[in-house]
A and B are shown apart, each in its own frame.
Chain A
């Protein structure tokens, strides 16, 4: 990581990112101007104007807040299940054997098929939560398991000779090892969770949610509305990623 951050500074990573965003916006503006049909490709300004209008409406915050809360709850529940189950599986191959078919199912079955099945079994407001859990738990679990497999054997030998109890093994060796592994994938898993929540909302149609609003915009042929919601989602995920990066930096002083 240190090498990357050094190089990113040296080669002006941020400048290139900003340049790329400006380039994409210019390309989008050019295509929108060429096509000249707001029902198909609205310009970035029209999309931003849409968001600006929404910012004045309290309902916008309710919609975004509800979807965001669903994503956070689902992520936390998946994390709270993945960490102990992954650690247990890492310590006991039998548990790993029992969980492996569930993990394989979660990873291989298409999200759409899961949504359809879950819609049959759960209410529309529960669907996004359940689907997101089914999709992201296996990913988090796999990461925890990989962290367990990569535990420093030298530290485990040290713990053995000093006869450290299981509680100290967990608190001082396994959890920090697993957390280190997870911190690299938390942002990506959270954004995947958001995508799945939105897909679940589009198909499940709960009363409130970004997915719901996306669907309404789509049936109203409001391309500017659809793109505005996409932009809101992108900003939301980028904000969470930024927060996670800040948190990691603050809590991993021992690294660099």
Chain B
């Protein structure tokens, strides 16, 4: 369990996060939902160490080895799919890269550059790169956004398997309640700006199990 408390953030005079308190299940998949632009990505960036919070405590979350799947693909345009994944892995990880490509269904695109890929495929590489890295904490910002239903399910299964294998904590931003219902052990819903945690639901309350 990771306890985040009182995270506040303003952009100039505009308050975005008005004291976020969350207890993330670890290991477990935690989904973060809420209206567009309410500050979900800001919170994720604070946890990733890319933005400083104005106040609050991350409860040691920031010190964990982490991996991030950004909302935009952030692939190196001058490197192939294989090279983009190998980039975040230690040297001599050829086999590991090949395994990740297989798991993510990207073997056919191994030598393509990102401009040659569709939006959905780029997103797939983005997620594959994030999940390739062994980590205690995975921060995933709408990782299934531009994927087709069919491929999406396959990748969700991969995420579940990877989370179990790593015994990791996952914080996943989504707008899709079905996605949350399928994946989340715990889900948080934020209010509109300035954001506060509005609702917390655990898996048993989804009524699935």
A residues apposed to B, CB below 8 Å = 154-155, 157-158, 160-162, 164, 168, 172-173, 176, 180, 252-256
Contacts and interface: CB of A to CB of B under 8 A. Distances in A.
Contacts of B72: 154
Contact of A161 (B50, B77, B113): B50
Contact of A164 (B77, B79, B87): B87
B174 interface: no
Nearest to A154: B74
Contacts of B133: 162
A253 B79 CA distance: 10
A158 B70 contact: yes
Given A154-B74, A256-B115, 16 more contacts: A154-B70, A155-B76, A157-B50, A157-B70, A160-B49, A162-B68, A162-B133, A164-B87, A164-B88, A168-B87, A172-B79, A172-B87, A253-B113, A254-B77, A254-B79, A255-B77
A160 B49 CA distance: 9
19 contacts: A154-B70, A154-B72, A154-B74, A157-B50, A157-B70, A158-B74, A161-B49, A161-B67, A161-B68, A162-B88, A164-B88, A172-B76, A172-B87, A176-B78, A252-B78, A254-B77, A254-B115, A255-B77, A255-B115
A27 to B, nearest CB: 44
A48 to B, nearest CB: 44
Interface of B: 48-50, 66-68, 70, 72, 74, 76-79, 87-88, 113-115, 133
A162 B49 CA distance: 11
A252 to B, nearest CB: 8
A161 B87 contact: no
Contact of B74 (A157, A252, A254): A157
Nearest to A254: B113
A256 to B, nearest CB: 7
Nearest to A160: B50
A173 B76 contact: yes
A190 B139 CA distance: 47
A161 B48 contact: yes
Contacts of B79: 172, 254
Nearest to B74: A158
Contact of A155 (B50, B74, B115): B74
Q: Which residue of B68, B72, B74 has the most chain A CB atoms within 10 A of its CB atom?
A: B74
Nearest to A176: B78
* Nearest 5 A/B pairs, CB to CB: A254-B113, A158-B74, A162-B88, A176-B78, A161-B68
A179 to B, nearest CB: 9
Q: Which residue of A158, A160, A255, A256 has the most chain B CB atoms within 10 A of its CB atom?
A: A158
Contacts of B70: 154, 157-158
A254 B67 contact: no
A237 B138 CA distance: 54
Nearest to A152: B74
A168 B83 CA distance: 12
Contacts of A154: 70, 72, 74
Contacts of A253: 113
A172 B50 CA distance: 20
B78 A254 contact: yes
B142 to A, nearest CB: 15
A55 B114 CA distance: 49
Contacts of A158: 68, 70, 74
A176 B115 CA distance: 16
Contacts of B87: 162, 164, 168, 172
